Amino acid sequence: MSVALVLGTTALPQGAAAQNYQFNSVTIEGNQRIEPGAILTYAGIGRGQTVSAAELNDAYQRILGSGLFETVEIVPQGSQLVIRVKEYPTINAINFEGNRRINDEDLQAIVQAQPRRVYSPSQAEADASNIAEAYLQQGRVSARVQPKIIRRSDNRVDLVYEIFEGAVTEVERIGFVGNQQYNDRRLRRVLETKQAGLFRAIIGSDTFVEDRIQFDRQLLQDFYASRGYVDFRITGVNAELAEERDGYFVTFNVEEGQQFRVGNVTVTSDLPEVDAALFQSEVNLRSGRVYSPSLVENQIARLERLAIREGLSFVRVEPRVNRNDRDLTLDVEFQLTRGPRIFIERIDIEGNTTTLDRVIRRQFRVVEGDPFNPREIRESAERIRALGYFANAEVEAREGSTPQQVIVDVDVEEQPTGSLSFGGSFSTNDGFGLAIEFRENNFLGRGQQLTLGFNTGVDNRRYTFNFVEPGLLGRDLALGFNLNYFESQRDTAQYELVTGTFSPSLTFPVSENGRFSVRYTANYTDITDVRSDAGQIVTAEADEGAIWDSSIGYTYSYDTRRTGLDPTAGVLLEFGQDFAGLGGDASFIKTRVRAIAQKLVFSEEVTLRATFEGGALNYNEGSSRVTDRFFMGSSVMRGFEYAGIGPREVDEANDIDDGLGGNFFAVARFEAEFPLGLPEEYGISAGVFYDVGTLWGLDKTNANVLYEDASLRHVIGVSLFWDTAIGPLRFNFTDALVKEEFDREQQFELTVSTRF
């Protein structure tokens, strides 16, 4: 027998409310799939049982509430009870109509209704609500979803979700109330939600998403906390929908409070085996600095690492912060205490279908059997997430086989880590070009990086192969292999240059902010197709033929951006040398140095940046060639073409003008970036800069060589920055205040902007 479902009412005679019934039999009609016993169970009425009219109504409600029937009818007929039902149909197929922004596969994952199961109106409505919520997360507030059924034979239906997606409801304006230290423009840059701009049709961050607003609250909280505003609060966020329902006006109500600085910093201990003075000497947090929770966290990590080095297990560092409202300082006391004696029993990893276990395990600084340190586990979790291999990574600790042991559970969700990109490029120096690149950041699940690239422009071709093993021997030791082949024929040169480079390297940390790299480089260079109007020096160097040089080198870098101790400033220092002469045809020492300092001022609206770069090429045997001397273009000193300044061989009678490069160079760049006052959604800002530099020195010269001395060039300019959908563009307009007669000036340049 089968059952059907229709909403109906219990059929009882008048005056039944005061009547009792006793049935000798119960007849069930209309059921097709549902067994009579199941219906009787829902009814809860037994044979010969005396029931009241109220109990019959309860039975009706129970049968109807099972969700299996459209209608239910209970009819007493003397000593017989008749239960008539109409079953809900089964779902034959599920379809979606009107959807363009979300495909059928993604929608199917949202709905709970499934083919060959009983159709439930309440479930269909719930699914429609979930689909509308998915559109809401894309900023489509006006999206509507209507479930409908199409009747088929054999009590089957097709379930169709008719979708009206509606337009994207954008964030038209983001404002702040109560902010005094930072203006609205600066605070808007902190948020992930953006105001609708010129490219609103293809940029998703300007749509209104409630979950993103909640994330923005945390971003604001972190921003102020890192700048010493420990009392900062967000008292409310108002999101008002415009009357046309096409845009939101979002307002953050904030209370900034006062900015606090670090007061006295001390280390105390209640452990007899701990020398507090030793730990005090490890603290590099100084009084007077703007207070930030990240500063305290970094100090705790430093002190706990020192405890491990000293062989002190289970030592924990507890910070105690005392507030001094009179002078707006916070005294920080780091108290060394004995933590619980808990060990790591094991580390369980799940969800990694591609990435090998060892890639995840090497992000832990601890192994099974080591003392358990919650801070170390949290830092390991952050390192796992920073790999970029996983869409989600959760690291939690739970009690192990005994209370003195814990099991660390790592649950990850893989995501694509490779890319194949095709693109075009344009620069005012090289014209149009084609770029093809294959990149895999987790090669074969081993955490290795592999890059294959081909890049060609009007005057050059470059082929690259790069491979990096970031965890050699399970340590923070990166092994790299770089293979590079380059051909260039610039209009500014009278020859074609061919170079090939093979360079393996090892890179490892030497301090909290410092890294050291050692490398070997085998380099092949050849000057070919020298034109008839080339000068004597280039011609003589080309006559030497192809040259191999073999060198070893190192680079030390110090980068405070790694730790972000000061969010308004950063310093990068690099110093490197290469020593050639281990075989090959050349013997020289090549030195390069770079220093960059950046500071945000005027409520972090203006960015000031100073850069110094220099280099020296000293040959022990033989002489340098254009293939290994330094050249200065717009990437080093703005306002001049590549090979536009420095020593050059000039013979106007024979139409000779060769840029030769130099053995030495030095340049200093100073710039400021600032807003123009335009609506922020335009993404346009400006900058001014001043560059001063020189390129000089040759091993061989003649009477036609000019500018071999270290004569300075001075350039001023303005920049226009435009954040577009294709990337941040930079337009440079320059004017050379001091230059030489045959320098090749470049007064305009369009590039993709890079940030320090």
Q: Which long-range contacts (CB under 8 A, 24 or more apart) does 395-404 make?
A: 397/372, 400/345, 400/346, 401/345, 404/341, 404/342, 404/343
pLDDT band at residue 726 under the 50/70/90 scheme: low
Q: What percent of the chain has pLDDT over 90?
A: 46
Residue 439 lies inside a defined structural domain of this protein: no
Res 738: pLDDT: 95
Res 89: pLDDT: 87
Res 44: pLDDT: 83
Task: Supply the CATH number for residue 684's domain.
Answer: 2.40.160.50
Res 15: pLDDT: 43
Q: What is the radius of gyration, based on Cα positions, of the chain?
A: 37
Res 199: pLDDT: 52
Residue holding tokens 């949202």? 110
| 116-131: average pLDDT | 89
pLDDT band at residue 729 under the 50/70/90 scheme: confident
According to the per-residue pLDDT averaged within each range, which of 192-196, 318-322, 538-542, 722-726 is highest? 318-322
Distance CA 749, CA 431 (A): 11
Residue 473 lies inside a defined structural domain of this protein: no
Shared-domain flag, residues 391 and 517: no
Residue 545 Ramachandran class (φ > 0 left, ψ -120 to 50 alpha, else beta)? left
Spatial CA neighbour of 642 closest among 434, 428, 448, 440: 428
Res 273: pLDDT: 87
Res 18: pLDDT: 53
Instruction: Flag whether pLDDT at 14 surpasses 50.
Output: no
Instruction: Flag whether pLDDT at 703 surpasses 70.
Output: yes
Shared-domain flag, residues 309 and 211: no
pLDDT tens for each residue of 168-209: 777 888 999 999 999 898 899 899 888 876 554 445 556 777
Instruction: Flag whether pLDDT at 8 surpasses 80.
Output: no
Res 4: pLDDT: 32
Shared-domain flag, residues 719 and 684: yes
What end-to-end distance do the CA atoms of the chain give, in Å?
Answer: 76
Distance CA 552, CA 520 (A): 4
Instruction: Flag whether pLDDT at 753 surpasses 70.
Output: no
Both structure tokens of 627 = 């293939």
Residue 309, classified by CB atoms within 10 Å of its CB into exposed (0-12), middle (13-18) or buried (19+), is: exposed
Distance CA 240, CA 243 (A): 9
How many other CB atoms sit within 10 Å of the CB of residue 5? 26
CB 484 within 8 A of CB 463: yes
Instruction: Flag whether pLDDT at 47 surpasses 80.
Output: no
Residue 687 lies inside a defined structural domain of this protein: yes
Which of residues 635 and 458 earns the better pLDDT score?
A: 635
Res 427: pLDDT: 52
Domain end call among 255, 282, 317: 255
Residue 477 lies inside a defined structural domain of this protein: no
Residue 154 lies inside a defined structural domain of this protein: yes
Shared-domain flag, residues 195 and 318: no
Res 616: pLDDT: 97
Residue 440 lies inside a defined structural domain of this protein: no
Instruction: Flag whether pLDDT at 709 surpasses 70.
Output: yes
Shared-domain flag, residues 664 and 696: yes
pTM equals 0.72
Instruction: Flag whether pLDDT at 66 surpasses 90.
Output: no
Residue 408 lies inside a defined structural domain of this protein: yes
Shared-domain flag, residues 158 and 180: no
Shared-domain flag, residues 21 and 113: no
Res 7: pLDDT: 30
Contacts of 510 (CB under 8 A, 6+ apart): 516, 556
Task: Supply the CATH number for residue 385's domain.
Answer: 3.10.20.310
Distance CA 78, CA 25 (A): 10
Res 670: pLDDT: 97
Domain end call among 285, 316, 338: 338
E strand map for 457-605 = 460-469, 478-488, 496-509, 514-528, 547-559, 569-584, 587-601
Shared-domain flag, residues 39 and 150: no
pLDDT band at residue 664 under the 50/70/90 scheme: very high
Which of residues 629 and 118 earns the better pLDDT score?
A: 629
Res 577: pLDDT: 97
Res 661: pLDDT: 92
Res 3: pLDDT: 33
pLDDT tens for each residue of 455-471: 886 677 889 999 999 98
Average pLDDT, the chain: 86
pLDDT tens for each residue of 209-226: 777 888 899 999 999 999
pLDDT tens for each residue of 548-589: 999 999 999 999 876 556 778 889 999 999 999 888 888 999
Both structure tokens of 24 = 């000798």
Shared-domain flag, residues 626 and 729: yes
Instruction: Flag whether pLDDT at 494 surpasses 90.
Output: no
Instruction: Flag whether pLDDT at 6 surpasses 70.
Output: no
Number of domains in the chain: 6
Which of residues 733 and 23 earns the better pLDDT score?
A: 733
Identify the weakest region by mean pLDDT among 234-248, 287-301, 417-431, 591-605: 417-431
DSSP H helices in 616-680 = none
Instruction: Flag whether pLDDT at 416 surpasses 50.
Output: yes
CA distances from 468 to 448, 465, 481, 512 (A): 6, 10, 6, 22
**What string of DSSP letters covers 367-413?**
-TTSBP-HHHHHHHHHHHHHTS-EEEEEEEEEE-SSTTEEEEEEEEE
Res 455: pLDDT: 82
Instruction: Flag whether pLDDT at 157 surpasses 70.
Output: yes
Instruction: Flag whether pLDDT at 1 surpasses 50.
Output: no
| 32-61: average pLDDT | 83
Residue 71 lies inside a defined structural domain of this protein: yes
Structural domain for 153, as ranges: 97-164
Residue 353 Ramachandran class (φ > 0 left, ψ -120 to 50 alpha, else beta)? alpha
Shared-domain flag, residues 354 and 398: yes
Shared-domain flag, residues 500 and 604: yes
CB 93 within 8 A of CB 160: no
Shared-domain flag, residues 267 and 317: yes
Domain end call among 390, 414, 438: 414
